[in-house]
């Protein structure tokens, strides 16, 4: 088994990934700022070494990459890298000092969906600071892999879902009140015809892809893999399914985006636009073929588990008006 360092270990993905690694027999060092706790409790964490490091502060001193390299891990899994400078510092320090770096990116590097389902190999036209920065990181890491045999694999999650936090809702933003309105059989307005798509993934399925890259080292080296569910959802299909999950027939209306947005909270309308402007719909065929990826959750199953938690936490009410 391997010595594995997980950077950003107590977040969405780490909540599931760290226990999976430990139960597989790996020696795990969980690196985080020490501020957040995992979203789900698991006794396996008592067998994991934890290391408190403020990445941003250490990077500013030029120390972070060297600090990670000095842990002498076989495998480093980076869950929280968002800028090229951050990636460069870590990759430079790990070159010739690690057998496998697994970088977690995002399907937003694709930009707007064109041919669907989108393949990992599709030409990318990212937009927005987050997508552009992540695309720059990924392009550099793959160049290192192909030109210098740098041992890296890249995992591209969709929108990550799980109990403990609010999922993207059928209106394309994050206000859990939308689920309360659906549960109460209130009418929900959607932009356009509700046919834009979102592509969710349960955090545990992202962990599954990461372990797949480890277990299929030769096939995953210098490659990238989507970590999404087996199928994207249209906003309309998502909303209709949630109405029926709460025991109602769908109660929807539609409006052109500008008209719809004018009647919404501006921040929520902006979040919706960011998602539907991309309308991701990504293929997992490569992961199935090379890693044996078989997602445990559909998008709806992942969301419904998360909403069940929101109900238990009092963030979603289920009273019919």
Residue bearing tokens 């009140």: 177
Identify whether residues 109 and 192 lie together within a single domain.
no
DSSP-assigned letters across all residues of 121-159: TSPPB--SHHHHHHHHHHHHHHHHHHHH---EEEEEE-E
Identify whether residues 260 and 139 lie together within a single domain.
no
Identify whether residues 78 and 149 lie together within a single domain.
yes
Identify whether residues 129 and 171 lie together within a single domain.
no
Q: Indicate whether 319 belongs to any domain.
A: no
Identify whether residues 115 and 173 lie together within a single domain.
no
Q: Indicate whether 251 belongs to any domain.
A: yes
Specify which residues 75 forms β-bridges with: 4, 100
Q: Indicate whether 83 belongs to any domain.
A: yes
Identify whether residues 114 and 179 lie together within a single domain.
no
pLDDT at 20: 97
The tens digit of pLDDT for each residue in 87-102 reads 999 999 999 999 999 9
Q: Indicate whether 290 belongs to any domain.
A: no
| Nearest one of 169, 160, 165, 311 to 241, comparing CA atoms | 169
The tens digit of pLDDT for each residue in 94-136 reads 999 999 999 999 999 999 999 999 999 999 999 999 999 999 9
CA–CA dist 50, 67 (Å, integer): 14
Residue bearing tokens 């979203």: 39
Average pLDDT on 155-173 reads: 98
Identify whether residues 217 and 242 lie together within a single domain.
no
pLDDT of 320 above 70:
no
Identify whether residues 238 and 193 lie together within a single domain.
yes
Task: Please enumerate in sequence order all residues whose Cβ is within 8 A of that of 199, keeping only pairs 6 or more positions apart, or say none.
Answer: 107, 158, 159, 228, 229, 232, 233, 280, 281, 282, 299
Sort strands 188-191 and 159-161 into parallel, antiparallel or unpaired. Answer: unpaired
Identify whether residues 147 and 48 lie together within a single domain.
yes
With vertex at residue 296, the alpha carbon angle to CA 221 and CA 114, rounded to the nearest 5 degrees, is 65
The domain total for the chain is 2
Q: Indicate whether 218 belongs to any domain.
A: yes
Task: Please enumerate in sequence order all residues whose Cβ is within 8 A of that of 275, keeping only pairs 6 or more positions apart, or say none.
Answer: 159, 168, 172, 173, 196, 198
CB-based contact 227:205 (threshold 8 Å): yes
Quote the domain boundaries for residue 175.
Answer: 163-199+231-280+299-312
CATH of the domain at 245: 3.90.25
Identify whether residues 262 and 121 lie together within a single domain.
no
The tens digit of pLDDT for each residue in 203-251 reads 999 999 999 999 999 999 999 999 999 999 999 999 999 999 999 999 9
pLDDT of 321 above 70:
no
Residue 35 binned pLDDT confidence (cut-offs 50, 70, 90): confident
Identify whether residues 68 and 179 lie together within a single domain.
no
Identify whether residues 205 and 56 lie together within a single domain.
yes
Q: Indicate whether 107 belongs to any domain.
A: yes
Q: Indicate whether 254 belongs to any domain.
A: yes
Q: Indicate whether 291 belongs to any domain.
A: no
Surface-to-core class of residue 95, CB atoms within 10 Å of its CB (0-12 exposed, 13-18 middle, 19+ buried): middle
Query: Tokens in use for 294?
Result: 């078989």
| Nearest one of 176, 178, 202 to 297, comparing CA atoms | 202
CB-based contact 297:305 (threshold 8 Å): yes
């Amino acid at each position: 088994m391997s010595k594995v360092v997980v950077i950003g270990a107590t977040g969405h993905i780490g909540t599931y990934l760290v226990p999976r690694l430990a139960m597989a027999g790996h020696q795990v060092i969980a690196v985080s700022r020490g501020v957040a706790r995992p979203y789900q409790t698991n006794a396996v964490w008592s067998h994991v070494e934890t290391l408190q490091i403020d990445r941003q502060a250490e990077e500013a001193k030029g120390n972070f990459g060297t600090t990670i390299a000095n842990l002498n891990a076989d495998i480093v899994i980076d869950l929280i890298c968002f800028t090229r400078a951050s990636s460069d510092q870590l990759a430079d320090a790990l070159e010739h000092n690690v057998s496998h770096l697994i970088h977690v990116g995002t399907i937003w590097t694709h930009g707007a969906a064109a041919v669907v389902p989108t393949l990992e190999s599709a030409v990318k036209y990212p937009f927005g600071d987050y997508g552009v920065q992540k695309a720059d990181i990924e392009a550099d890491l793959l160049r290192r892999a192909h030109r210098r045999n740098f041992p890296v694999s890249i995992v591209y999650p969709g929108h990550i879902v799980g109990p403990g936090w609010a999922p993207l809702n059928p209106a394309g933003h994050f206000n859990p009140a939308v689920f309360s309105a659906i549960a109460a059989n209130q009418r929900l307005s959607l932009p356009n015809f509700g046919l834009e798509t979102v592509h969710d993934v349960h955090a545990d399925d992202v962990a599954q892809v990461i372990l797949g890259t480890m277990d299929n080292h030769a096939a995953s080296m210098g490659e990238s893999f989507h970590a999404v569910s087996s199928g994207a959802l249209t906003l309309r299909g998502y909303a209709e399914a949630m109405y029926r999950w709460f025991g109602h027939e769908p109660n929807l209306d539609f409006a052109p985006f500008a008209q719809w947005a004018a009647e919404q909270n501006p921040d929520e309308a902006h979040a919706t636009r960011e998602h539907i402007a991309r309308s991701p719909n990504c293929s997992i065929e490569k992961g199935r073929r090379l890693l044996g990826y078989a997602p445990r959750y559909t998008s709806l199953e992942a969301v419904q588990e998360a909403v069940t938690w929101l109900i238990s936490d009092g963030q979603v009410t289920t009273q019919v008006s």
